[in-house]
Structure 1
Amino acid sequence: MKTCYIFGAAPVEDTDWIQVDVKKEDTVICADGGYQLAKRIGVKPDWLVGDFDSNREEVDFSQVIRVKPEKDDTDLYLAVSQGRKLGYTRFVVYGALGGRFDHSIANVQMMMGCIQEGISITIRDAQNEVTAIKDGRIEIQKGGFHYFSLFSLTEESRGVTIEGAAYPLDRATLTSNFPLGVSNEVCGEKAVVSVENGILLVVLSKDWNQTEKGSI
């Protein structure tokens, strides 16, 4: 499936973990200061979008969408909107977690709104991979991430089933006010998560030092 890659302006110290394979049918959009992150890893954007309050560099680029700082939408939301106009329904986002916590929450809310319209967004950083599912299922492979957690973005997510994990569930109900689904682990080659009715935020994560387990 063709993919729209988006780079945001959240701080990224080490870029070695970023592996982007941009194919001919894909596109790359930088949200404001995300242009600097794309440059650091040698990825050329197709579009630049934002009010450019976090990118002071003069940009010599033909496909730029420049907006006023006084706006309702975040730069990342504007980048996703541009990708949708170009016909993309699958987005992979870098530089959108960490830094300002309010922007991280805004990005999760954006994911919730998009998944209701059939738009898939995955946000990645050095420790986490975050996505959402609605009335569906997802397979979580054993590998790079030690933990996975589920959070209900709707008031209730009903019929939640977890198979192949340390803490299985069978058609349970997760609510938005209690983190029952936090910190699970894949037991075999993969775990399968499904929800019959509701929206689940799915977070894959690992500790900074993977030789030590952390908990909260």
Structure 2
Amino acid sequence: MQIEKDNVFEGEVLLFINGLPPKEFPDVSNFERIYCTDGAYSYLKRAGIKPNIVSGDFDSLKLDEVDEDVTKVYTPNQDLTDFEKAIFLIKNDGYSNIVVFGGSGMEQDHFLGNIHSLAKYKNELSIRCFDDYGVYFFCENTTTINGFNGKILSLIPFPEATKITSTGVKYPLEEEDLGLSKRIGTRNTITEDVVEITFTSGNLLVFIQFKK
């Protein structure tokens, strides 16, 4: 996996979900299709953004409130979150590179549920989530991050990751294990143009804070 500052916002499709809406919206014209969950439709409409598809159980949005030319997909399964149902829909539509907004910033149990969904699909899809501070994603066993010198990097195991090595940061790791009940790697500083991260097994969630 390679993350570049110059194209960090690039993806095939854009997905808005019902967390905290961004203060600054991305250029939606750069994406092939725009999806949103029913809870995100209202804030998109206020921002003047029309999605191609809105999905969910429509408990927070009435069908007649959605513009006629927007495709509506009813996903009533209560065993899955609206985020996971949207991911599944996007996957079935043939897309694999997803940029997400609205994944955090409100109810924290929803945020943790969204992280669970990211972990579930990390080996099948490329999903990057953005908020008003930066980007977060599950990294691959070998990951290169370019162009974020001076920014904040956090490595969070979910729940564990083994033999992690990181370079290009103030406090590098060398084949160290991280775990939620042991040690996590928060608030490191990127000191070089290129950061290299490798690990052997587990799940490793990366946060890059490049905004204040």
Q: Deviations over 1:128-166 (max 9, x none)?
A: 3110023231315326x83110011143x2231111110
Q: Tell me the CA shift for residue 66 of structure 1.
A: 1.8
CA RMSD of aligned residues (A): 2.3
Task: Supply the AA of the counterpart residue of 1:148.
Answer: L
Is residue 2:12 matched to residue 1:3? yes
Q: Superposed, which structure 2 residues align to 1:65-214 within 5 Å?
A: 65-68=73-76, 71-115=78-122, 117-142=123-148, 146-155=151-160, 157-205=161-209, 208=212
Task: Supply the AA of the counterpart residue of 2:191.
Answer: C
TM-score between both structures, scaled by the size of structure 1: 0.82
Aligned match of 2:5? none
Task: Supply the AA of the counterpart residue of 1:141.
Answer: G
Unaligned runs of 5+ in 2: 1-9
TM-score between both structures, scaled by the size of structure 2: 0.84
Deviates more, 1:59-68 or 1:161-170: 59-68
Q: Tell me the CA shift for residue 21 of structure 1.
A: 4.2
The 1:79–1:196 alpha-carbon spacing in structure 2 relative to 1, beyond 3 Å, is same
The 1:128–1:177 alpha-carbon spacing in structure 2 relative to 1, beyond 3 Å, is farther
Paired positions, count:
201
Structure 2 contact 11–98 (Cα < 8 Å) conserved = no
The 1:111–1:179 alpha-carbon spacing in structure 2 relative to 1, beyond 3 Å, is same
Paired with 1:192 and 1:74, the residues of 2 have a C-alpha distance of: 33
Please state which structure has a larger fraction of its residues in helix. 2
The 1:5–1:159 alpha-carbon spacing in structure 2 relative to 1, beyond 3 Å, is same
> Per the alignment, in what secondary structure is the counterpart of residue 33 of structure 1?
helix
Paired with 1:206 and 1:135, the residues of 2 have a C-alpha distance of: 23
The 1:199–1:22 alpha-carbon spacing in structure 2 relative to 1, beyond 3 Å, is farther
The 1:140–1:111 alpha-carbon spacing in structure 2 relative to 1, beyond 3 Å, is farther
Is residue 2:52 matched to residue 1:52? no
Same amino acid, percent of matched pairs: 24
Q: 2:45 aligns with which of 15, 19, 39?
A: 39
